[in-house]
Amino acid sequence: MRLKPILTALFAAATLALPAAAQDCVGQNLFERMPPARLAELQAAAEGVPYRQGLFWRAEKGERRVTLLGTYHFADPRHGLAMDRFGPELDEAALLMVEAGPEEEARLTQAMAADPSLLVDPEGPTLPERFTDAEWKSLAAALEARGLPAVIASRLRPWYVAVMLGVSPCMMRLIEERGDPGGLDHLLVERAQAAGVPVRALEPWDTVLTLFADMTPREEEDMIRAAMPAAEYADDYAVTLADTYFAGDSWLIWEFGRFDAYDHSGLSRAAVDEQMRLAQEKLMDRRNESWIEPIEQAAAEAAGQGKGVVIGFGALHLPGEHGVLRLLEERGWSISPIMLEEGTGDGG
Decide if pLDDT at 347 tops 60. no
CA 264 to chain centre: 23
Global pTM? 0.88
160-169, 184-193, 294-303, 324-333: least confident range: 160-169
- Cβ atoms of 312 and 96 closer than 8 Å: yes
pLDDT of amino acid 10 = 57
| Residues ≥6 apart with Cβ < 8 Å to 93 | 67, 192, 197, 302, 307, 308, 309, 310
pLDDT of amino acid 21 = 43
Using pLDDT thresholds of 50, 70 and 90, give the confidence band for residue 178. low
Q: What is residue 57's three-state secondary structure?
A: strand
pLDDT of amino acid 179 = 61
Which CA distances in Å does 298 have to 65, 88, 96, 291, 307?
A: 10, 20, 10, 11, 11
Average pLDDT over residues 96-104: 93
Decide if pLDDT at 326 tops 80. yes
Using pLDDT thresholds of 50, 70 and 90, give the confidence band for residue 141. very high
pLDDT of amino acid 173 = 72
pLDDT of amino acid 300 = 98
Query: Which one is predicted more confidently, 2 or 26?
Result: 26
**254-258 contacts: CB < 8 A, separation 24 or more?**
254/17, 254/18, 254/46, 254/316, 255/42, 255/45, 255/46, 256/30, 256/31, 256/42, 257/18, 257/230, 258/45
51-65, 228-242, 304-318: least confident range: 228-242
